[in-house]
Amino acid sequence: MTRQLPVLVVENDPFLRLLGVILDPEHTDPQRIAAFSDFFAHDLPDFNGWLSQLRGRLKKLYPATVHLVDDEAALHKHLPAAEIAVIESLRIGADELAIAPRLRAVQKFGAIASSVDEPACAARQVAVLKLRRRANIACAEHAIAMMLGLSRQLHRVINRISTESLQAAGYSPRTYDRRHTANSNWARVPGITLLHGTTLGIVGMGEIGREVALRATAFGMNILYHQRTPMPRALETAHHAHYADLDTLLETCDWVVICLPGNDNTHHLFNARRLAQMKPGARLINISRAEIVERNAVIGVLRSGRLGGFALDPLYEAPGRDDDELLQFENVLLTPHIAAQPRFNALNDIADLLTGLEEQIK
């Protein structure tokens, strides 16, 4: 008797497309498979070997039929036949459950399942699975690295250990009189600061924002956050964070980290008016879409000296340009869209997701 293939309805997220490559290669465009092989190649040269190894662990889930959906209408079209729904932002509630009699599990591609009606799923005995994504952890680490880079002047002094190289960077290195003093910072690098004791403002307390807060706490930072809806008190306590309106956050914080999705509501949210509200000397870290910060406006506050520093990943354009005006500022740190790396973050997340779903197939 031929086994009936499991049916998955999967939100058409760039990384979730990998589920079709893994589980449903027969119906996946070969160009997509080749594109993913190229996408992972610098960290995983043998993509086909990885696919074979993972498929070998999925005794019940592979092969499967995978339907990628872009919106609610497409989700509803394929839910009646689906045993598993994998979503990133689409909603699974009572209406969706009512048309999904075969549904066994809902997998949220993330740790916060606010778009899933968990009580309704529990009543239907539909499992709700979540995933603490390594890519979000990596982005939070990158934000902290950028903060450390600016506070310790690392982007200006790394590998500059000779008098000549330090002088070329604009410093005046000279050793101290060791008969009387220590010799630390003989390079005489000004402007080095601590994270400890400073106030961090996180704009957008979603999955990445919460990961940033957990790490900032370890550095002894005071944490304010802003988003449309304050978190429950228990979550605020767990993340050592206090809610503030955006005006107060900008006026108060020494550091501001943007952790927002890029969309029409956030485009140029940090415009000239918002940037002028920031505490003089504060530093801005954007690990979200570049366009959330208006480019000309940030160049203006950097040129005026009001902004203490700016770090950005990803860039306004990819690849970037060596003559980018932002590179003329000594207090700017740019990286070429590497915050979520390495690629094994995504590969391991997807592997964990699928092995978890394997347990839901009978």
**Domain 7-131 shares a fold with domain 136-152+193-334:** yes
User: What's the CA angle centered on 150, arms 149 and 154, to 5 degrees?
Assistant: 45
pLDDT score recorded for residue 1? 46
For residues 264, 280, 205, 339, the Cα torsion angle rounded to the nearest 10 degrees is 80
242, amino acid identity: H
Kindly write down the DSSP assignment for every residue of 80-108, as one continuous string.
GG-SEEEESSS-B-HHHHHT-TT--EEEE
Q: What pLDDT score does 295 carry?
A: 98
Instruction: Tell me what pLDDT residue 90 has.
Output: 97
CA 289 to chain centroid, in Å, comes to 10
CA 308/CA 297 separation, integer angstroms: 14
> Beta strands of the chain (E only): which ranges?
7-11, 65-69, 84-87, 105-108, 127-129, 199-203, 222-226, 241-243, 255-258, 283-286, 309-312, 332-334
Which pLDDT does position 304 carry in this prediction? 97
Which superfamily, per CATH, for 136-152+193-334?
NAD(P)-binding Rossmann-like Domain (3.40.50.720)
Reported CATH class of domain 7-131: alpha beta
Structure tokens at 151: 């506070």
Rounded Cα–Cα distance for residues 203 and 256 (Å): 7
Domain boundaries, the chain: 7-131, 136-152+193-334
Instruction: State how far the alpha carbon of 237 is from the alpha carbons of 210, 217, 348, in Å.
Output: 12, 11, 30
Is residue 9 within 8 A of residue 84, CB to CB? The reply is yes
| pLDDT in the model for residue 361 | 87
The three-class DSSP label of residue 54 is helix
Blockwise average pLDDT, block size 10, the chain, 362 residues: 84 98 97 98 97 97 98 98 97 98 98 96 97 98 98 96 96 97 97 97 98 98 97 97 98 98 96 97 98 98 98 97 96 97 97 96 82
